[in-house]
Amino acid sequence: MSLQHALARVLYAAVLVALLAPSTARAISMDKASTIRDQCEISIGPDLIGIVAYMPDRSRDRFCGEFPATGRIILTIDLIAERLRQLPIEVRIVKEPGGPLSEEDDLTPFTVAYFAPRLYPGGAAPIEHVFNESGDYAAFITVTEAAGMKRTTRFGFTVGGWLQFYATAMLSGVFLTGAVLAYWQYSNGGVKGARRRRF
Protein backbone atom coordinates (compact mmCIF):
# COMPACT_ATOMS: atom_id res chain seq x y z
CA MET A 1 0.00 0.00 0.00
CA SER A 2 1.40 3.40 -0.98
CA LEU A 3 1.78 6.33 1.33
CA GLN A 4 -0.76 8.26 -0.75
CA HIS A 5 -3.37 5.56 -0.20
CA ALA A 6 -2.65 5.55 3.54
CA LEU A 7 -3.04 9.32 3.77
CA ALA A 8 -6.28 9.12 1.79
CA ARG A 9 -7.62 6.62 4.31
CA VAL A 10 -6.61 8.88 7.19
CA LEU A 11 -8.48 11.78 5.60
CA TYR A 12 -11.55 9.63 5.04
CA ALA A 13 -11.48 8.45 8.67
CA ALA A 14 -11.18 12.03 9.95
CA VAL A 15 -14.20 13.14 7.93
CA LEU A 16 -16.20 10.17 9.18
CA VAL A 17 -15.32 10.93 12.81
CA ALA A 18 -16.29 14.59 12.38
CA LEU A 19 -19.72 13.54 11.11
CA LEU A 20 -20.26 11.08 13.94
CA ALA A 21 -18.86 13.31 16.70
CA PRO A 22 -22.12 15.12 17.64
CA SER A 23 -24.00 11.98 18.70
CA THR A 24 -20.96 10.69 20.61
CA ALA A 25 -20.47 14.00 22.39
CA ARG A 26 -24.13 14.05 23.39
CA ALA A 27 -23.76 10.59 24.90
CA ILE A 28 -20.82 11.80 26.99
CA SER A 29 -22.91 14.72 28.24
CA MET A 30 -25.69 12.35 29.28
CA ASP A 31 -23.26 10.16 31.19
CA LYS A 32 -21.89 13.12 33.14
CA ALA A 33 -25.37 14.37 34.01
CA SER A 34 -26.86 11.03 34.98
CA THR A 35 -23.97 9.76 37.10
CA ILE A 36 -23.61 12.93 39.21
CA ARG A 37 -27.14 13.13 40.58
CA ASP A 38 -26.75 16.11 42.94
CA GLN A 39 -25.29 18.20 40.10
CA CYS A 40 -28.88 18.71 38.84
CA GLU A 41 -30.36 19.54 42.24
CA ILE A 42 -30.51 23.08 43.58
CA SER A 43 -32.13 24.59 46.63
CA ILE A 44 -34.78 27.25 46.70
CA GLY A 45 -34.89 28.38 50.29
CA PRO A 46 -35.24 25.27 52.48
CA ASP A 47 -36.60 23.15 49.63
CA LEU A 48 -34.90 21.14 46.91
CA ILE A 49 -35.81 21.06 43.24
CA GLY A 50 -34.31 18.84 40.56
CA ILE A 51 -33.63 19.82 36.96
CA VAL A 52 -33.29 17.38 34.09
CA ALA A 53 -32.98 18.69 30.53
CA TYR A 54 -33.50 17.16 27.11
CA MET A 55 -32.76 18.01 23.48
CA PRO A 56 -35.63 16.02 21.88
CA ASP A 57 -34.77 16.95 18.30
CA ARG A 58 -31.22 15.66 18.61
CA SER A 59 -31.03 12.95 21.24
CA ARG A 60 -32.87 10.99 23.91
CA ASP A 61 -30.01 11.63 26.33
CA ARG A 62 -30.32 13.74 29.46
CA PHE A 63 -28.25 16.83 30.11
CA CYS A 64 -27.45 19.01 33.08
CA GLY A 65 -25.76 22.37 32.80
CA GLU A 66 -24.00 21.87 29.43
CA PHE A 67 -25.66 21.52 26.04
CA PRO A 68 -23.37 20.72 23.09
CA ALA A 69 -25.47 22.55 20.49
CA THR A 70 -28.20 25.11 20.00
CA GLY A 71 -31.81 24.11 19.34
CA ARG A 72 -34.93 23.13 21.25
CA ILE A 73 -34.28 22.38 24.91
CA ILE A 74 -36.78 21.20 27.51
CA LEU A 75 -35.95 21.90 31.14
CA THR A 76 -38.02 19.72 33.43
CA ILE A 77 -38.18 21.13 36.95
CA ASP A 78 -38.90 18.42 39.48
CA LEU A 79 -40.66 19.85 42.53
CA ILE A 80 -39.17 17.42 45.02
CA ALA A 81 -40.78 19.08 48.04
CA GLU A 82 -44.51 18.40 47.84
CA ARG A 83 -45.38 21.78 49.32
CA LEU A 84 -43.99 23.47 46.19
CA ARG A 85 -46.69 21.78 44.14
CA GLN A 86 -49.27 23.95 45.86
CA LEU A 87 -47.42 27.23 45.21
CA PRO A 88 -47.10 29.30 42.01
CA ILE A 89 -43.85 28.72 40.11
CA GLU A 90 -42.44 31.41 37.82
CA VAL A 91 -39.50 30.87 35.42
CA ARG A 92 -37.43 33.45 33.57
CA ILE A 93 -34.63 32.43 31.19
CA VAL A 94 -31.97 35.04 30.55
CA LYS A 95 -28.79 35.22 28.51
CA GLU A 96 -25.67 36.25 30.43
CA PRO A 97 -23.24 37.80 27.94
CA GLY A 98 -21.24 39.64 30.58
CA GLY A 99 -21.13 37.14 33.41
CA PRO A 100 -23.58 35.72 35.96
CA LEU A 101 -26.63 37.81 36.84
CA SER A 102 -28.54 37.86 40.12
CA GLU A 103 -32.18 38.33 40.99
CA GLU A 104 -31.40 41.88 42.14
CA ASP A 105 -30.37 42.86 38.60
CA ASP A 106 -32.78 44.19 35.99
CA LEU A 107 -33.32 40.96 34.08
CA THR A 108 -35.75 42.30 31.49
CA PRO A 109 -33.15 43.32 28.85
CA PHE A 110 -31.55 39.86 29.05
CA THR A 111 -34.77 37.82 29.06
CA VAL A 112 -35.18 35.34 26.21
CA ALA A 113 -38.20 33.47 27.62
CA TYR A 114 -40.67 34.05 30.44
CA PHE A 115 -43.19 31.66 31.98
CA ALA A 116 -45.79 33.32 34.21
CA PRO A 117 -46.54 31.98 37.70
CA ARG A 118 -48.74 28.90 37.76
CA LEU A 119 -49.33 25.75 39.78
CA TYR A 120 -47.81 22.41 38.89
CA PRO A 121 -49.75 19.94 41.07
CA GLY A 122 -48.24 16.97 39.24
CA GLY A 123 -44.79 17.90 40.56
CA ALA A 124 -43.11 18.50 37.19
CA ALA A 125 -42.77 21.86 35.46
CA PRO A 126 -41.68 21.41 31.81
CA ILE A 127 -40.07 24.56 30.39
CA GLU A 128 -39.43 24.53 26.64
CA HIS A 129 -37.48 27.05 24.58
CA VAL A 130 -35.58 27.15 21.27
CA PHE A 131 -32.06 28.49 21.79
CA ASN A 132 -30.79 29.98 18.54
CA GLU A 133 -27.56 31.39 19.95
CA SER A 134 -24.77 29.72 21.86
CA GLY A 135 -23.54 31.21 25.12
CA ASP A 136 -24.16 31.32 28.86
CA TYR A 137 -27.74 31.30 30.14
CA ALA A 138 -29.57 31.08 33.44
CA ALA A 139 -33.05 30.10 34.55
CA PHE A 140 -34.39 32.14 37.47
CA ILE A 141 -37.02 30.07 39.26
CA THR A 142 -39.31 31.93 41.65
CA VAL A 143 -41.72 30.49 44.20
CA THR A 144 -44.42 32.69 45.74
CA GLU A 145 -45.33 31.66 49.28
CA ALA A 146 -48.90 31.77 50.58
CA ALA A 147 -48.06 34.91 52.56
CA GLY A 148 -46.82 36.65 49.40
CA MET A 149 -43.08 36.31 50.01
CA LYS A 150 -41.04 35.32 46.98
CA ARG A 151 -37.99 33.10 46.89
CA THR A 152 -35.78 32.85 43.80
CA THR A 153 -32.99 30.52 42.81
CA ARG A 154 -30.68 30.59 39.79
CA PHE A 155 -29.78 27.64 37.55
CA GLY A 156 -26.92 28.48 35.17
CA PHE A 157 -26.15 26.52 32.02
CA THR A 158 -24.20 26.74 28.76
CA VAL A 159 -25.53 26.20 25.24
CA GLY A 160 -23.22 25.27 22.36
CA GLY A 161 -20.04 24.28 24.23
CA TRP A 162 -17.86 23.58 21.16
CA LEU A 163 -14.92 22.16 23.12
CA GLN A 164 -17.02 19.42 24.64
CA PHE A 165 -18.79 18.91 21.33
CA TYR A 166 -15.60 18.18 19.39
CA ALA A 167 -13.42 16.64 22.11
CA THR A 168 -14.44 13.14 21.13
CA ALA A 169 -13.80 13.88 17.44
CA MET A 170 -10.25 15.03 18.14
CA LEU A 171 -9.42 12.06 20.36
CA SER A 172 -10.96 9.61 17.92
CA GLY A 173 -9.12 11.24 15.03
CA VAL A 174 -5.78 10.79 16.76
CA PHE A 175 -6.56 7.15 17.49
CA LEU A 176 -7.70 6.39 13.95
CA THR A 177 -4.69 8.15 12.45
CA GLY A 178 -2.33 6.03 14.52
CA ALA A 179 -4.27 2.86 13.67
CA VAL A 180 -4.21 3.56 9.92
CA LEU A 181 -0.49 4.40 9.91
CA ALA A 182 0.28 1.25 11.91
CA TYR A 183 -1.73 -0.81 9.43
CA TRP A 184 0.09 0.80 6.52
CA GLN A 185 3.49 0.06 8.04
CA TYR A 186 2.46 -3.53 8.73
CA SER A 187 1.07 -4.04 5.22
CA ASN A 188 4.03 -2.36 3.56
CA GLY A 189 6.43 -4.47 5.58
CA GLY A 190 4.52 -7.63 4.65
CA VAL A 191 4.67 -6.79 0.96
CA LYS A 192 8.41 -6.12 1.09
CA GLY A 193 8.97 -9.36 2.97
CA ALA A 194 7.04 -11.33 0.35
CA ARG A 195 9.05 -9.73 -2.43
CA ARG A 196 12.32 -10.66 -0.71
CA ARG A 197 11.20 -14.28 -0.37
CA ARG A 198 10.40 -14.45 -4.10
CA PHE A 199 13.91 -13.35 -5.00
Cβ proximity of 112 and 137 under 8 Å: yes
Q: What are 166-199's pLDDT values in tens digits?
A: 554 555 555 566 656 656 566 666 555 555 555 5
Nearest CA to 72 out of 126, 20, 118 is that of 126
The length of the chain, given as a count of residues: 199
- pTM, to two decimals: 0.65
The predicted structure's pLDDT at residue 177: 64
If one compares 4 and 44, the residue with the highest pLDDT of the two is 44
157 contacts: CB under 8 Å, gap ≥ 6:
53, 64, 65, 66, 67, 136, 137, 138, 139
The predicted structure's pLDDT at residue 125: 96
What is the fold, at CATH topology level, of the domain defined by 36-160? Immunoglobulin-like (2.60.40)
The answer to whether residue 151 scores a pLDDT higher than 60 is yes
The predicted structure's pLDDT at residue 80: 93
Q: Would you kindly state where each structural domain of the chain is located, as residue ranges?
A: 1-35+161-199, 36-160
The predicted structure's pLDDT at residue 36: 40
Q: What are 127-146's pLDDT values in tens digits?
A: 999 999 999 999 999 999 99
The predicted structure's pLDDT at residue 175: 56
Find the mean pLDDT for residues 63-76.
Answer: 92
